[in-house]
Structure 1
Amino acid sequence: MIKEGNPIIRNPYTADPTVLVHEGAVFLYTGHDDPPPGVDDYRMHDWLCFSSTDLLHWAEHSSPLKATDFQWASGDAYASKVVEYGGKFYWFVSVTHAGGPYKAIGVAVSDNPTGPFADAKGSALVTHDMLPAAESNKANLDPTVLIDEDGKAYLFWGNGRCYFAELESNLTQLASPISVIDLPEFSEGAHIHKKNGTYYLAYGYGYPERVAYATSRQIGGPWEFKGILNEIAGNCATNRPAIIEFGGSDYFFYHNGALPEGGSHRRSVCIDRLYYEEDGSMRRVVMTTEGVR
């Protein structure tokens, strides 16, 4: 049960959730929509961190990372992904590369899930010129990372096309060429996770975005399109998922524009329950103040 219903964070505006379970707590990392009054556009300068032990009560931590903490970046704190690996916490982010309109992917590291985080590489992990068949200057958006059971790490990301590469064991270098995954109506907002031996790749589908997903028995594919998991979010054109298991149940995090004065550039994070059917397909169930309906 969610104490006040969705959205779960009501001040400030939050977007693009990524979620980590660590030592009995859930750590929620979000973008921060912060346009000044009268401006209807993306203004995102830093990322935020919240934690909870029951998904009902959320503690806000001081902002652990800003776009300009990457000295090679000019700003724009877009969607991200946090993973725990080797006793450290790695935060993969999308920012605007200094000196141009192109987005790049960076990675920060910390000894603690709440930070502080610092640039782990001193330069971008992925730049626009590394991409095959890149058309949009926003091609390097929305990184998501999976640490597999064998310890190997994999990166998915993209805008307009979905890109895929294996990471080196230090998580700050690519270990394979970048390839393109063919997914129907792929827009952005990729999220990769694994359940019962199956890989699930969810993403923003079309525009305005719904959330669709594909599955595979191999991390490199082939991927089978499975359908729509979340319809267009209320009063919001984008739709970025995060999926976790916590306390024996599965949860689906996303954002919408449902708060007063909210919208596509003033978004707020929500949680719903998630169920896996016998055939492995996923089903989302809306959370309410009374429980699950």
Structure 2
Amino acid sequence: MKKQSLGALALAVAAACACATDSAGNPLFADKFTADPAVLVDKGRVYLYTGHDEARPKPQDKDFVLNEWLVYSTCDMKNWTAHGTALRYDVFKWSGGSAWASDITKVGNKYYFYATVHDNSTNAKGIGVAVADSPTGPFRDAIGKALITNDMTMETDIAWDDIDPGIFIDDDGTPWLFWGNQTLKFVKLKKNMIAMDGDIQTTSLPHYTEAPYVHKRNGIYYLSYSREFPEHTVYATAKKVTGPWHYRGKIMDQNKKTPTIHQAFAEFNGKSYIFYHNADLPTGDEFRRSVAVEEFKYNADGTIPFIPQTTEGPAANPTAACKK
């Protein structure tokens, strides 16, 4: 009860106060370590959800320490508002911790948040679903148990192969969930967004590691992911969401101070953006990462160019929401 009360108090405080954070470039936020970006564009704003790296500098901590997801928003891609904690892992009462990578989507007037956490029932990573009436929360557990558990997939013998959910809704309204470490897995969801509609499938990609993210543009399906370890970001394309996927090449180089990199794409106010993390804050390291963003332009044939990491980040791109 004490843990739940503290979590509820933290959410209440976050909801009561949103603080402005001006960002002159990358990394976006200097006051906290953030990782594994998830992005939602809604009503003229970009909402950015990140894990919160709370590990102390090495050698004090030698693993990830993540208990919550933070949420920020912007109407111009330059000035960000910090809304505090979107939710903690203990929103899922069946979870024992590990607020790892997530993704989010909006269906109707509801916001569905797909989250990697530790599933106590299998003593392994699993994927839960939380739902809210606002992009900043409060979020609540949508089904009272994990949507994806480790015993559903037997392709590997590791306890962290069911991580990194990526939610994609096709043009016909059909939702698809992609996830997985070492093996890429995907399943069609029912339109209620909280139940599977068919069997879990797998697909083969060159040197696939983790962080699958699917988006669609001009009739082309794009599947980006982290390749090898240390990781760099690559992508494949297809004519159908189920593949077959054709490998296209590297999007972004590996980081220097952390072996992971995790991407999300967004179209906002007529421009294209990729979010990712590095470890470029002064005391950053493998477990103390920082989210950044770059603007890019697709090539004429629809391919994605190689995108360098910059300290400048994108130029301002204000929407009408900035005037409200």
Corresponding letter in the other structure for 1:161? T
Q: Distance in 2 between matches of 1:46 and 1:3?
A: 22
Are residues 290 and 48 of structure 1, via their aligned partners in 2, closer, same or farther at CA, if it must alter by over 3 Å?
closer
Q: Provide the TM-score with structure 2 as the length reference.
A: 0.87
Which of 78, 82, 88 is the equivalent residue of 2:104? 82
Partner SS state of residue 282, structure 1:
coil
Corresponding letter in the other structure for 1:289? E
How much identity, in percent, do the aligned residues show? 39
Task: Indicate the residue corresponding to 1:7 in structure 2.
Answer: 27
Q: Establish whether residue 223 from structure 1 lines up as the match of residue 229 from structure 2.
A: no
Specify every segment of 5 or more residues in structure 2 that has no aligned partner in the other structure, as ranges: 1-21, 316-324
Are residues 266 and 149 of structure 1, via their aligned partners in 2, closer, same or farther at CA, if it must alter by over 3 Å?
same
Q: Distance in 1 between matches of 2:162 and 2:125?
A: 5
Q: CA deviation at 1:131?
A: 1.2
Q: Distance in 1 between matches of 2:240 and 2:121?
A: 38
Task: Indicate the residue corresponding to 1:208 in structure 2.
Answer: 230
Task: Indicate the residue corresponding to 1:27 in structure 2.
Answer: 47
**Residues 108-257 of structure 1 mapped to structure 2, 5 A cutoff:** 108-257=130-279
Q: CA deviation at 1:134?
A: 3.2
Partner SS state of residue 144, structure 2:
coil
The answer as to whether partners of 2:35 and 2:277 remain within 8 angstroms in 1 is: yes
Q: CA deviation at 1:234?
A: 3.2
Corresponding letter in the other structure for 1:106? G
Runs of 4+ that moved beyond 3 A: 285-292
Task: Indicate the residue corresponding to 2:13 in structure 1.
Answer: none
The answer as to whether partners of 2:122 and 2:151 remain within 8 angstroms in 1 is: no
Q: Which moved more, 1:125-134 or 1:193-202?
A: 125-134
Task: Indicate the residue corresponding to 2:301 in structure 1.
Answer: 279
Q: Establish whether residue 72 from structure 1 lines up as the match of residue 94 from structure 2.
A: yes
CA deviations 1:197-224 (Å, max 9, x no partner) are 1111111100000001111010111000
Q: Establish whether residue 289 from structure 1 lines up as the match of residue 309 from structure 2.
A: no
Are residues 272 and 71 of structure 1, via their aligned partners in 2, closer, same or farther at CA, if it must alter by over 3 Å?
same
The answer as to whether partners of 1:273 and 1:286 remain within 8 angstroms in 2 is: no
Partner SS state of residue 49, structure 1:
strand
Q: CA deviation at 1:135?
A: 2.3
Q: Which moved more, 1:283-292 or 1:175-184?
A: 283-292
**Residues 40-55 of structure 1 mapped to structure 2, 5 A cutoff:** 40-55=62-77
Larger helix fraction of residues: 2
Q: CA deviation at 1:101?
A: 3.2
Task: Indicate the residue corresponding to 1:57 in structure 2.
Answer: 79
Are residues 272 and 147 of structure 1, via their aligned partners in 2, closer, same or farther at CA, if it must alter by over 3 Å?
same
Q: CA deviation at 1:273?
A: 1.4
Q: Provide the TM-score with structure 1 as the length reference.
A: 0.96
Are residues 98 and 189 of structure 1, via their aligned partners in 2, closer, same or farther at CA, if it must alter by over 3 Å?
same
Q: CA deviation at 1:233?
A: 1.9
Corresponding letter in the other structure for 1:30? T
Q: Distance in 2 between matches of 1:97 and 1:290?
A: 37
Q: Distance in 2 between matches of 1:18 and 1:290?
A: 17
Q: CA deviation at 1:236?
A: 1.2
Q: Distance in 1 between matches of 2:154 and 2:116?
A: 18
Which of 78, 102, 105 is the equivalent residue of 2:124? 102
Larger strand fraction of residues: 1
Q: CA deviation at 1:39?
A: 1.3
Equivalenced residue count is 291
Q: CA deviation at 1:100?
A: 4.5
